[in-house]
A and B are shown apart, each in its own frame.
Chain A
Amino acid sequence: MGEISIDDRELRDLMTRYQNADAAALEDLVARVSPPLLRFFGRSGIGRSDAEDLLQDCWIRIHRSRHTYRPSEPVMPWIYAIARHTRLDAYRKRRRLESREVLVASIPERLHQVVPETPSEEDHFTRLVANLPDSQREVIVMLKVSGMSLEEVARATSSTPGAVKQKAHRAYAALRRALGKDRESAR
């Protein structure tokens, strides 16, 4: 897994203290949860500063919704569900802005579709993942980058573990096809 797993028991305790207005718990929570969230946003095909903006926006939403966390439930799916909505809203906003900009002057492609002159193997793979449909990429990022279980991803995406598994399988198949095509064209 790409992410160091965070002890859920400790997080539950921090969340409960945060709900009780404990500033130290909030500080600890921000320090622990922000890096995986930043990675989650960073894997959405946006730059570092945009990812940091999204992180701030996400924390505002977490703060406003903190009363909806229930201590008996796991913390990370609750946080990722909010992060996911933050990312989706930002994506929609960016699309709206892009469509407006295209009317003024024709801008060629989306950021993640820009091909570097000599892409490394990692850049190339990043581009293949970026070209997956949004829902499949999101599942792959949560499973692989954030190290969440199927159950946790299902909770974060308001879905079922079966549906998450299906999306992941489709993403795997699409990546396998893309890599196969690359191998054929390299011959």
Chain B
Amino acid sequence: MPDNPHDNSLERRLEKWASAPPDSQLSPEVRRKVQAMLTSSLTPVKPIPSQSRLAFVFLAVFIVCAAGLIAILNKAGFHLMTGVQMAFMTAILAGGGILFSFTLAWRMIPGSRWGVPFSLVLALSVLLPIAGIALLFPWTTSSAFVSEGWPCASLELIIAVPAAVVYWLLARRGALFASSGLGATLTGLAVFLALLPLQFQCMFQHAPHLLVWHGGTAALLVGSGALIGKLARRARLRKQELKDG
């Protein structure tokens, strides 16, 4: 408990305040209403799988889809990256997939113990790829920076959007509370799924290209996901307001 031993007066007042709250006895009418409401739709339900099992399902989808896309797409990146670059990018992008898989699983079950705070997940998934790319890849650009970049951005979009929808469909089994955090988690996981095959098919392994076209698109997608989550929450509240009259 965060009690301050030097200020007993505050502690005493807090205890007094906490122990004398407004009447918390449930009126029989409200109790009956709640029970009637719930009993009318009371059917047996099967408990959701554990968080780790849910996370492994998301991770399995991540691995199968990423491996399948790597196999189908052009493999220019394999020949252009050095061993260190390849190992680092694989570790970072797969690590992002693992972190976001667990975050999504934690979000599905209310009252979950969060192994890593979401702010730290976001910070790591932004800072580590930026640092790695900035340090390991050459800072060269070509005159065709834009025309080289947009196909990568488009491909990222083409992979990430359906992946986000698939993850949303899988995650709907849980108790999801629409929010910008949920939107960012879903798109974050989908974006890492898109970035992994993109890294191995890309023929422009330069820091500016990777940061702007791969990273910039990822940031835009995660931002859009967060915005969609926020709008979804607002729409749900509005729907509820209309229902309440």
Contact = CB atoms under 8 A, between A and B. Distances in A.
Interface of A: 1-3, 19-21, 23, 26-27, 30-31, 34-36, 38-39, 42-43, 48, 51-52, 55-56, 59-61, 63-74, 76-82, 85, 89, 92-93, 96, 121-122, 125-126, 129, 140, 143-145, 150-151, 154-156, 158-160, 163, 165, 168-169, 172, 175-176, 179
Contacts of B13: 121, 125, 179
A79 to B, nearest CB: 8
Contacts of B17: 122, 125-126, 129, 144
Nearest to B7: A176
A160 B114 contact: yes
Interface in B1-44: 1-4, 7, 9-10, 13-27, 30-31, 33-35, 37-39, 41-44
A165 B2 contact: yes
B47 interface: yes
Nearest to B29: A52
Given A155-B113, A159-B117, A35 B26 contact: yes
Contacts of B24: 35-36, 38-39, 42
Contacts of B37: 56, 59-60, 63
Given A21-B45, A35-B24, A79-B111, 19 more contacts: A2-B19, A26-B35, A34-B26, A39-B22, A56-B33, A64-B175, A65-B110, A68-B48, A68-B110, A69-B47, A145-B21, A154-B113, A155-B112, A155-B113, A158-B107, A158-B112, A168-B1, A172-B2, A176-B4
Q: Which of A48, A65, A165 has the most CB of B within 10 A?
A: A65
Nearest to A35: B24
Contacts of A67: 45-48
26 contacts: A2-B19, A30-B34, A34-B26, A34-B31, A35-B24, A35-B25, A42-B22, A56-B34, A59-B37, A60-B37, A63-B37, A68-B48, A70-B48, A70-B109, A74-B111, A96-B241, A121-B13, A122-B20, A125-B16, A144-B15, A144-B17, A155-B112, A163-B117, A175-B10, A175-B14, A179-B13
Interface of B: 1-4, 7, 9-10, 13-27, 30-31, 33-35, 37-39, 41-48, 50, 106-114, 117-118, 174-175, 177, 233, 236-237, 240-241
